Amino acid sequence: MAHSQFDIFLQEATYLDQTSEHVLDRDRLYGLYTSWCFINQQPLSPEDSFWAAMRDRISPDRSGLHMKGPAATDYIMASYPGWSEQDQPQGHQGRREPRAAAPVHAAFPCLEKPSTPGPSPRWE
């Protein structure tokens, strides 16, 4: 059975931990999707198409849904408020490096490590 782009995105860029109280909100989930598309050179679907597809795949409250993988890294690097081209050392412009270390989980609690290691959930 062929999997849609949305199924592959959920499998590669998210995991489910229902013991967590954190929620991956709409903006962050769609932002994660745009990063996933960019990294994987996939066409970006319009936001309304994305949410129509998600309606059939994830719970409406998105509780327990977390980011993972390269798309999560790209999303955080692209949206972290402390990043700036002019603050980087010469020769490092264009490489997203932080100007000061800060705990990522404070800004993105949806990235907490799973409480128990295991395989990613199967999204069907």
Tell me the three state secondary structure of residue 23.
strand
Distance between CA atoms of 57 and 119, rounded to whole angstroms?
A: 18
Give the bridge partners for 14, in sequence order.
67
Q: Which residue has the higher pLDDT, 87 or 30?
A: 30
Beta strand spans in 1-124 (E): 14-16, 65-67
Residue 77 is predicted with a pLDDT of 86
Q: Name which CATH class applies to 5-84+98-111.
A: mainly alpha
Q: What's the pLDDT at 109?
A: 53
The pTM assigned to this predicted structure is: 0.65
2 band by pLDDT with thresholds 50, 70 and 90: low
